Amino acid sequence: MRRRRAGGRTMVERASKFVLVVAGSVCFMLILYQYAGPGLSLGAPGGRAPPDDLDLFPTPDPHYEKKYYFPVRELERSLRFDMKGDDVIVFLHIQKTGGTTFGRHLVQNVRLEVPCDCRPGQKKCTCYRPNRRETWLFSRFSTGWSCGLHADWTELTNCVPGVLDRRDSAALRTPRKFYYITLLRDPVSRYLSEWRHVQRGATWKTSLHMCDGRTPTPEELPPCYEGTDWSGCTLQEFMECPYNLANNRQVRMLADLSLVGCYNLSFIPEGKRAQLLLESAKKNLRGMAFFGLTEFQRKTQYLFERTFNLKFIRPFMQYNSTRAGGVEVDEDTIRRIEELNDLDMQLYDYAKDLFQQRYQYKRQLERREQRLRSREERLLHRAKEALPREDADEPGRVPTEDYMSHIEKW
């Protein structure tokens, strides 16, 4: 009896140790997964494309204080973009806002049924619809500068329909629907970036600035420099030119310039002109299908994907930089740039608040939907468990050998 009891205790001890080892291994694997799992890129060849369920996007700031009131209709941006129909995305590219990078994302980084055809050595890609040879994207890297170099809102809205009608005459049977998009950037950083670009020789002098059917006269838009370009100009010289289009560029390029007499500064008083431009830019920005902010790349990617129901292959990268774009300037110079770009400062403050509210709204809505789905799945699982289990032997069971033998005896 003692031997049996001793043997029983040994078996129990061995079984207990085995259970402890298994439990410890499971706990270790769970801890390891918590640290390593989120960074894994399972099923992503070459690590280029993250899995669909990997959450790359930042959590909304719960302490964010809203500055402006926007109704729900201004926060909802779930469009039924029909790539196989007649819908067209129009990208308004404002200088030095990161538009070149974003433009390349549109033609090279969107997961499409028929990807854009981008060939080495060519500046433009062919972005056809899946069902016909007709473009769904109007941008620098798809259609080129068809409405002029860095065409603004006034130019694009009056030019794009005609350009596409000439390109795709077969589409004249149905009207197109245009979805305008753009990017904005912190005005001081953008201004300094433009100055450095001009300092290196950029001019954009081939821009048309078309408004009300004509381009501005030399008197309405005098040049800031003599010669072929303004290369080598100092920041002070850049700021001192009263005709510098870098000043409040974002407001000017988003506003309806027809409201203020285009580039005719004597059309209405300066104060009234500034107010009309700012309000028009805000209105047009709200009415756009989408806009992003250079300082928030991941959130920009998130909102674009949810707005158009399109997915990017690779995540956007956020390149951290100082507010002055790498240029060392003193506080007095910063304040002077802010004064020169007062309208842009107001617009950016407004746009940033709208952008953050849209992001928070989308994330909260998405999480609410996820909670509802999880709750429905739990309820369904409980309902299945609560159903009575039918005895598999009752209906139409096959008689056993014992039963048959009893019958033979009877």
Please tell me what DSSP assigns to residue 129. Answer: E
Catalytic pick from 93, 150, 197, 209?
150
- Start-to-end Cα distance in the chain: 47
- The tokens of 23 are what? 């439990």
Q: What are phi and psi of 183, to 5 degrees?
A: -125, 145
* Element containing residue 348 per DSSP (H, E): helix 342-386
What is the CA 204 to chain-centroid distance, rounded?
A: 27
- The tokens of 380 are what? 């369904």
- Amino acid letter for position 262: C
Question: Helix (H, G, I), strand (E, B), or coil: what is residue 54?
Answer: coil
Does the annotation mark 381 as catalytic? no
Alpha-carbon gap, residue 248 to 340, rounded angstroms: 7
Burial of 178 (0-12, 13-18, 19+ CB in 10 A): middle
Alpha-carbon gap, residue 341 to 326, rounded angstroms: 19
Alpha-carbon gap, residue 173 to 69, rounded angstroms: 41
Alpha-carbon gap, residue 288 to 304, rounded angstroms: 12
- Owner of token pair 């999480």: 367
Q: Is 236:202 a contact under the CB 8 Å cutoff?
A: no
Alpha-carbon gap, residue 270 to 272, rounded angstroms: 6
* Element containing residue 307 per DSSP (H, E): helix 297-308
**Catalytic residue numbers?**
150
